[in-house]
């Protein structure tokens, strides 16, 4: 078993030394983002999308998409990814196929054989469901006025001075089948990597997590933004750049039990920034680090604290088309958060090549291999 005193000391040191979120405090923040335009190829004007990911200290990764950006025209062909390119005197030159893209001053020029063959314009996309109002009869969980509907470890949840809900919040109300709308903001952490880069999660019933993570420009895996953690990756990575508001719109149907046994899996449909990334996906098990075990009882909404300053607003729950009420009227049987350590994890803990990545408030303890983030997650 791990030495929890050592873990707590280490997590404190990690809190002192980790990359603090920045909000528009450097030139890299201004250069990162999404660009779109057209290029001349084979005497045709073709739409082209580009995502520029800030890595800190003037370094960037660029990802080019034929047909347009994800969710906006990309033809699903293999994107062109260029890693760890440093800007020089405010200009970022990214090689892409047989051309070079020069990014500067909020735009880009595509150059081939010394000639400009295309122009790109920086844009900030907006989810079509951003600011969506709850329908009549919906349960409003958070509207920025108070945290009365939320708690954290038996205490009131936390809210910022400007009316945003902080991570680590659990709804006091519990739900069965329901629809949920939530808006979230990921912090700008250019030097952070993998699961330490703007990490949180939306847990339906405290059992099934839709990951929240700064996965802007990544391939879109089940442990990245929009992924149903450890179960299914999103059909498309719709993660916007950090510091842009994003949305999840979820339809969730709870698992069914008879005589104490599960007879039907839960399932969910998820739209990320207005694009459906999971459609009626069955959930054969609870996801990793879920506070609640599977069971017939209704469950709370949980917004995971992973030590990063993720923020939320405009959270509400509505009934599904079945006509059943979303909010449970049953008496809830509270379950303590469960920390499960498998045999494989125990082996990893004893191996010095693995490190512990700890949530700052010790909600959960997660163990990841030291090289996992770089090899499997990116950024």
Contacts of 314 (CB under 8 A, 6+ apart): 131, 132, 142, 143, 144, 181, 182, 183
Phi, psi torsion values for 299, nearest 5 degrees? -140, 165
pLDDT value, residue 26: 85
Q: Which residues contact 158 (CB under 8 A, 6 or more apart)?
A: 147, 152, 165, 166, 168, 169
Q: Cα(111)–Cα(342) distance, rounded to whole angstroms? A: 53
- Measured CA angle at 198 (ends 24, 350), to 5 deg: 140
Give yes or no for a contact between 239 and 277, defined as CB atoms under 8 angstroms apart.
Answer: no
Q: Give the fold, CATH level 3, of 139-318.
A: Jelly Rolls (2.60.120)
pLDDT of residue 156: 93
Residue 268, number of CB atoms within 10 A of its CB: 21
Handedness of CA 306, 310, 311, 314 (dihedral sign): negative
- The answer to whether 265 touches 252, Cβ cutoff 8 Å, is no
Sequence spans of domains, the chain? 32-123, 139-318
Find the length of the chain.
379
The pLDDT value recorded for residue 21 is 55
Instruction: Return the pLDDT at 328.
Output: 60
Residue 321: what pLDDT?
77
pLDDT of residue 205: 98
55 with 379: CB under 8 angstroms?
Answer: yes
Structure token digits, residue 226: 């929009």
Question: Terminal CA-to-CA distance of the chain, rounded, Å?
Answer: 31
pLDDT per residue as tens, the chain (379 positions): 445 444 444 444 344 334 445 555 688 999 999 999 999 887 889 999 999 999 999 999 999 999 999 999 999 999 999 999 999 999 999 998 889 999 998 899 999 999 999 999 999 999 999 999 999 999 999 999 999 999 988 899 999 999 999 999 999 999 999 999 999 999 999 999 988 899 999 999 999 999 999 999 999 999 999 999 999 999 999 999 999 999 999 999 999 999 999 999 999 999 999 999 999 999 999 999 999 999 999 999 999 998 899 999 999 999 997 455 566 655 443 333 332 323 333 333 333 332 333 333 334 333 333 333 333 334 5
Query: Looking at the domain that runs over 32-123, which CATH code has it been given?
Result: 2.40.128
């Amino acid at each position: 078993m791990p030495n929890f005193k050592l873990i707590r000391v280490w997590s404190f040191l990690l809190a002192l030394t980790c990359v603090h979120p920045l909000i528009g405090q450097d030139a890299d923040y201004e250069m990162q983002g999404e660009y779109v335009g057209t290029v001349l190829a084979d005497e045709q004007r073709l739409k082209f999308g580009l995502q520029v990911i800030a890595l800190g200290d003037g370094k960037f990764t660029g990802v080019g998409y034929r047909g347009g950006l994800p969710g906006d025209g990309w033809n699903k062909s293999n994107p062109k990814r260029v890693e760890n390119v440093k800007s020089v005197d405010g200009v970022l030159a990214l090689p892409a196929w047989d051309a070079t893209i020069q990014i500067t001053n909020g735009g880009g020029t595509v150059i081939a054989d010394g000639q400009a063959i295309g122009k790109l314009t920086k844009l900030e996309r907006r989810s079509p469901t951003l600011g969506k109002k709850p329908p009549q009869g919906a349960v409003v969980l958070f509207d920025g006025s108070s945290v009365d509907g939320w708690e954290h470890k038996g205490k009131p949840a936390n809210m910022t001075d400007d009316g945003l809900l902080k991570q680590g919040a659990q709804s006091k109300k519990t739900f069965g089948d329901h629809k949920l709308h939530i808006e979230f903001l990921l912090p700008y952490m250019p030097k952070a990597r993998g699961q330490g880069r703007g990490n949180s999660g939306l847990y339906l019933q405290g059992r099934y997590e839709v990951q929240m993570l700064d996965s802007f420009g990544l391939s879109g895996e089940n442990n990245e933004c929009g992924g149903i953690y450890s179960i299914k990756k999103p059909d498309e990575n719709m993660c916007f750049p950090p510091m842009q508001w994003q949305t999840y719109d979820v339809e969730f149907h709870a698992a069914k039990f008879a005589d104490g046994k599960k007879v039907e899996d839960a399932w969910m449909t998820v739209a990320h920034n207005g694009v459906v990334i999971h459609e009626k996906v069955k959930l054969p098990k609870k996801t990793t680090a879920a506070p609640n075990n599977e069971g017939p009882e209704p469950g709370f909404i949980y917004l995971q604290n992973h030590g990063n300053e993720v923020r939320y607003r405009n959270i509400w729950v509505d009934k599904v088309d079945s006509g059943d009420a979303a909010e449970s009227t049953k008496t809830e049987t509270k379950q303590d958060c469960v920390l499960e350590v498998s045999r494989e994890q125990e082996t990893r803990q004893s191996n010095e090549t693995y490190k512990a990545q700890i949530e700052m408030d010790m909600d959960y303890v997660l163990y990841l291999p030291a090289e996992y983030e770089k090899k499997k997650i990116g950024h």
